[in-house]
Homo-oligomer: A and B are copies of this chain.
Amino acid sequence: MTDILICHIERYITLDEESKNLIIQSFSTFNLLKKELILTEGDLCHYTYFVAEGCLRLYYVDNKGSEQTIQFALENWWMTDIEAFNHHRSASFSIQAVERTLLLGIRKNDLDLLVKEIPDLEKYFRNVYERAYSASLLRIKLLRLPKDEFYALFCTKYPEFIQRIPQKLLASFLGFTPEYLSELRKRNH
Which residues on A are within 8 Å of B, measured CB to CB? Answer: 60, 62-63, 68, 70-71, 82-83, 86, 92, 115, 119-120, 122-123, 125-126, 129-130, 132-134, 136-141, 143-145, 149, 175
Contacts of A119 in B (CB 8 A): 119-120, 122-123
**Closest partner residue, chain B, to A139 (CB atom):** B140
A122 to B119, CA, bound (A): 9
Contacts of A68 in B (CB 8 A): 141, 144
Q: Is the interface of A mostly helix, strand, loop or mixed?
A: helix
* Copies of the polypeptide in the assembly: 2
The 7 closest A-B pairs by CB, nearest first: A129-B129, A122-B122, A136-B136, A126-B126, A133-B133, A122-B123, A132-B133
Could you tell me if A137 and B137 are in contact, using CB atoms closer than 8 angstroms? no
A68 to B86, CA, bound (A): 31
A175 to B129, CA, bound (A): 26
A145 to B92, CA, bound (A): 14
Task: Looking at the assembled complex, report how far the CB atom of A39 sits from the nearest CB atom of chain B, in whole angstroms.
Answer: 14
**Contact A141/B70 with A126-B126, A129-B133, A133-B129 known, Cβ cut-off 8 Å:** yes
